[in-house]
Structures are given as C-alpha cells and as structure tokens.
Chain A
Amino acid sequence: MTAAGPDVLIVGAGPTGLVTALGLAQRGIRCEIVDADRGIATGSRALGISRRTLQILDTLGVSAACLEKGVPWVGSRSYYRDQEVFYLELPEEPDEAFPAMLNLAQEDVVRILLEQIDKTVPDLVGIRWNTRLESLQVTADQVQVQLDTLDGPTKMTAPWLVACDGARSTVRERLGIRLEGESWNTRYVIVDVRLHSDHPAERRAWFDPPSNPGSTVLMHRQPDDVWRLDYQVDDEEVDADNLVSHVVTRVREHLDHIGETGPMEVVWTSTYRARALSAPTYRHGRALLSGDAAHLIPIFGIRGLNSAVEDANNLSWKIAAVIHDRASDALLDTYSTERRAAAHTNLALTTRATLLMSPPTRGYELLRRALLGLVAEGHDEFCPLLNPRQTGTVGHPDSVLHTPSGSSEVGPGIGDVYPDARVCTAEGERGYLSSHLGRRTTLVVFADVPMPMDVPFDVEVVTITQKTRSHLENRSGQVLVDAGNTYTRWKVQPGDVVLVRPDGHIAGAWRYPDATAVAAGIARLQRKEAP
C-alpha cells in the first residue's frame, strides 16, 4: 500500500485483475487491488491456457512457472457413440516458443501471478482481501468507491478504476451496464477427478456415448493426475439437488467404459450453463470493464480466461500511456472498441462449439446426428465441422490506431499479433522473438543493409538481419539475427519496417519508408497529432 494512493484501483484479484496489475506495475503505475474473497478462489474453472496467453504471461515474467506446472497438449479426439471419428493433431511448430495449449488450473495461474507481484513489484501493487466494492461514483477527474471491509465500511478514490470483478460484476451492475447476447438452458456438471491414467494429454469429446446417451462428455488431463470432465445433463433428467451425485455415478460408468478402471476420487464439482454475453461498451469514463466483468464466453471454446488476459494486456499499456501523459485519453476508447470486437469474434467461435456440444433445437440436433453418422462412416470431408477451433488469437483488423497498409501488402496482417520466430542475439544466444516483443512500442526494422532510419523516435528499435550483424555494428537499438524463418513468417523483405504495439499487435508496416511516414504511424498509435 502506498501513502500517495493508487493511480489505478483494480476491483477483483482473479486472473484479469492480477495480469492488469502486473502490466501496470511494470510500467511504473501504482495499483491497489481489492477483492471480496478471503484469498485465492479454488475450484474447477479455467484449464486451457493458449499460446497467446503464455506469450503475454512471458512478458510478465511468469511463463516458465506456468510451463513447469502445466500439461501441454496438441491432440483433439472426437467419438460418436462407440467409435472414434476424428483426430486432430496440431502440427509441431519449431518457430514458436510456446506450446499451442497448456492445461493448468486457474488457481495455479492466479497463485503464480500473486507470487510474481510479491517478488517483483510489492511496492507498486497493494492487495486487500476481504474487501468488497459496494458502490462507486465516476466523476470527470476521479472514481470514488465505497468498500466493505472486516473493519466496517471505508472509502477510496483513484484517478482510474478497472473492474475485474468477474461474471457478476458489482461495478458493471452499479454503472447500469447490461450484458447483451444469448444464454442456453443445457446444464453441465464440471467434475474434477483424481485418477491415475497413462492416457496422453489431449482433448476428448464423446458425442452420444453409451455412458451418457444423447449427450456429450468432454475430458481433459490436468496436472497431478487430475482429470476434468464436462458432463452434459438433459434438463428433464434430474433435479438440481441430485445432479452432482447422479453425474458422479455416470462418470464412473464412463471411465469404466473407456477402460479406466482404476480407483477415482472426486476432488471438485460445479454446475455450469453456457452464456454468450457482452457489455455494449467496456469504458465508462474513468472506469473500465475487463475480463468476465465485460463479457461471458462459453467455456467450450477455451476463451474465457484467455480473452480476459488479452483484455488486460490491451488495457494496461494504454492506461499507463495516458497516466504518463504520452497519449490522449481517447486511447482508452480504443480499448473498448478493440476488445469488444474481439469478444464478438470469440463469442461467435465459442457459440459454434457450444451448439455442437449441445444442439439447442431439433434442426441442430438433426444436422449433428447426420454429420456424426457421415463422419463415422468415413466422410472425412465433414471433419472441419468437428474442429473445436480453440487455438488462434483474434486480431484487431479495424482499429483506428493502425496505419492501413494501402495497396502494398507488407508484413503480417495489420492488427494481428506478430508471428513468433527463432532469432539469435548479438552475443550468439539462441532464442525467440517473443522474448523481445510485446512489451514496449517497437519498430522492427528488417535490414541487411543499414537504412536511413536514425531519426530519433521515442520507441524501441529492433533490427532483424539475415546475415551477420557485423555490418550493422553502429545501429542504435538491438540487433537480432534471423535463426529460422523470420522473414517468411513475417512476409517481409530487407527494407521493410513494422511497428509493433506494446501488446504485440501490428500497428503499421512499410517498405523503405521515409521517417515522416513512420513518425505519423507512431503518432497515430498514441492518438496524438503527428509532429
């Protein structure tokens, strides 16, 4: 806690709040986190951590701890009744620093983030447990909140507030912001069981299995011999009181059926209904909504926590830039527009996964039966329809912060996340680009020859050469040597310059640009007039 009071008040110490706090603290911003709970929330929640999330966690210094604990997986297997009908294996990607998917329990992610705060920025981030936000007033120059603590009510003010208080966000409700979208009635029971099994880590989905006729079961390996089962329950079938015990019996049957006859112990159960909802805007003056407080994404696409981390990654550099007076506060409007558009795409993808898991109507049911039957008979042409499409991150193609590429197609897509690649440092150390990008605004200069780019910009410069670095000795900034397919993956040639945002998205790309064009691109990114 700091005497001067925080620059940013963060409501909620879940993954969104903690990633936001670390991102802000790294940029020298003081935050105070309040959470209604006594400490870390436990129980079966997010499990699948995407490559994009790992890249972001890497910029916060915690990717190694996550990789050490988590279980990577690449395969996805679908069964119809008794038969395996579809297997999808993600290809090996030597150019990527991180696995496509890692199973790691949300409580482990949260614990790792908290440890990192304690270890690296304890003087910048304060955390108060047992502190519930009750109400708030947002004015032109600050946010005042009323908090309920063990010692009674208290007040706090801060120039900015980020609501990371989850699905039932008090902030969202007090601001009168309503979620919009769809909900479904189908119930799922989420069961975590301890079970020793040699089955590899992969996603398994059973449609209409003998153990749960007419419904769907999902199964995932977690660390420490724990398995996650998502079990769809027909609504009429069981009443709420008996739901869990009913499902536990069925889980045993299911395990027996797939040959897992060893002893199992239930470690956690909860029930879930899919909702696909988003707030119409994520900014309310000096208050911003992030993570589940802003949108609820059905769990079957594995995009809830992952998109929440991307929200935080989008927001923290923008708030920091505004507080440091390096950008106008219009920059924060782009947080809302960019992340709302991303939520829209994430909702569309996960809604598809949900409709396949539990067809809501007769038409969907009919088509799914036909589809699974045809695939089971060998019509692989229909397999793409069974692809859960859980990997892949969503770009911001239409952001006002970006300089459109015009007719020349230089570089990766504008608005996309930069492609990772293998590089060598000047000292000859092998590594990945992801250790260098996605932290500060960075100009990536692709050059085998020195270019007249020595105009002083207030950004990092990373030069990537395909040859040796000797002839680039006098360049400012860092020089990296391509050690793989950087030029191909980035779709660039010598003479290209790419502007990468602090959150890793591409803001502009030019071929042999003059300094004014690049300066205009940077000004646009900071929502400032070009000098």
Chain B
Amino acid sequence: MNMTPDQLDSVYITLCETADSAGEADESEFLTRLVLLLALDVGDPEVIRRRINEARMPVAARRTG
C-alpha cells in the first residue's frame, strides 16, 4: 500500500460516488464484484484470507435490524 494521501483520497471519493451511482439495490453486488476483481490483482490467497478476516465486522459494531 504505497498510495499518497491524495491518491488515497481520490480512491475514497471514487468509491463513494460509484456506490451512490450503483444505487441502493445494487450496492452490495457492486462492492462484491469489486472485491472479486481486486482479489485477482492481489493474487495471494493468504493475503486475501487475512483481509477477509480483518474486514469482518466486530460483533459490537454489527447493526441489528
């Protein structure tokens, strides 16, 4: 991860905007497709598994209902 703060910022904004334009109904599918595509770029199943683990919501933060 060697993005400059500006690059990180621009990725963040692009994600916000694209999630918006996907629309509520297709938002999860868009994000899941993105993850699958990025997984191809990462190419290392160990790394992907570690990130999946990190991305799982901690129990306390889970939204109910």
Please report A residues at the B interface, Cβ cutoff 8 Å: 352, 355, 359, 361-364, 366-367, 371, 373, 377, 379, 381-382, 384-385, 387
**Count of B interface residues, CB-CB < 8 Å:** 20
Interfacial residues of chain B within 10-37, with CB under 8 A of chain A in the complex? 12-13, 15-22, 24, 27
User: What 13 new A-B contacts, CB under 8 Å, besides A367-B15, A367-B16, A373-B61?
Assistant: A355-B13, A362-B27, A363-B18, A367-B12, A367-B19, A371-B12, A373-B58, A377-B54, A377-B58, A381-B1, A384-B8, A385-B5, A385-B12
CB distance from B57 to the nearest CB of A (A): 8
Q: Are A352 and B19 in contact (CB under 8 A)?
A: no
Complex CA–CA separation, A377 to B20 (angstroms)? 25
Residues on B with C-beta less than 8 A from A352 are: 9, 13
Q: Report A-chain residues with C-beta under 8 Å of the C-beta of B61.
A: 373
Question: Is the pair A364, B5 in contact by a Cβ cutoff of 8 Å?
Answer: no
Q: Which residues of A contact B21 (CB under 8 A)?
A: 363
- Pick 12 A–B contacts, CB within 8 A, sort by A: A355-B13, A359-B16, A363-B15, A363-B21, A367-B15, A367-B16, A373-B61, A384-B5, A384-B8, A384-B9, A385-B5, A385-B12
| Residues in A neighbouring B19, C-beta threshold 8 A | 362-363, 366-367
Q: Chain B residues near A373 (CB, 8 Å)?
A: 57-58, 61
User: In the complex, which residue of chain B has the Cβ closest to the Cβ of A80?
Assistant: B61
Question: When A and B form their complex, what is the total count of cross-chain residue pairs whose Cβ atoms lie within 8 Å?
Answer: 46
Out of A359, A362, A364, A385, name the residue touching B8 (CB < 8 Å). Answer: A385
* Min distance, Cβ A85 to any Cβ of chain B, angstroms: 13
Query: What residues of A have a CB within 8 angstroms of the CB of B24 in the complex?
Result: 362
* Distance, CA A363 to CA B24, complexed state (A): 9
What residues make up the interface of B, taking CB atoms closer than 8 Å to A? 1, 5, 8-9, 12-13, 15-22, 24, 27, 54, 57-58, 61
- B1 contacts across to A, CB distance below 8 A: 381
Nearest chain A residue, comparing its CB with the CB of B18: A363
Q: How far is the CB of B49 from chain A (nearest CB, A)?
A: 17
Residues of B within 8 A of A363 (CB): 15-22, 27
Contact A366 B8 (CB under 8 A): no
Q: Give the shortest distance, in Å, between A526 (CB) and chain B (any CB).
A: 35
Q: A366-B27, A367-B15 are in contact. Are A385 and B20 (CB under 8 A)?
A: no
Residues on A with beta carbons closer than 8 Å to the beta carbon of B57: 373
With A367-B15, A371-B12, A373-B61: A362-B20 Cβ-Cβ less than 8 Å = yes
CB distance from B54 to the nearest CB of A (A): 8
Least distance between B25 CB and chain A CB atoms (Å): 11
Contact B18 A387 (CB under 8 A): no
Quick one: closest B residue to A372, CB to CB? Answer: B61
The answer for the CA separation of A363 and B20 in the assembled complex, in Å, is 5
A364 to B61, CA, bound (A): 19
How far does the alpha carbon of A373 sit from the alpha carbon of B1 in the complex, in Å? 19
Contact residues in B for A387 (Cβ distance below 8 Å): 5
Q: Which residue of B lies closest to A368 (CB)?
A: B16
Given the complex of chains A and B, what is the CA–CA distance between A473 and B25 in angstroms?
A: 77
Q: State A139–B58 Cα separation when bound (angstroms).
A: 68
Smallest CB gap from A367: residue in B: B16
The chain B residue sitting closest to A381, CB to CB, is: B1
Question: Which 7 A-B pairs rank lowest in CB-CB distance, beginning with the nearest?
Answer: A363-B20, A363-B19, A384-B5, A363-B16, A364-B16, A367-B16, A361-B20
B-chain residues with CB within 8 Å of residue A361 when the two chains form the complex: 16, 20
Query: In the assembly, what is the distance between CA of A250 and CA of B47, in Å?
Result: 44
> Which residues of chain A are near B5, meaning CB under 8 Å?
384-385, 387
B51 to nearest A CB, angstroms? 11
Residues of A within 8 A of B54 (CB): 377, 379
The answer for the CA separation of A355 and B15 in the assembled complex, in Å, is: 13
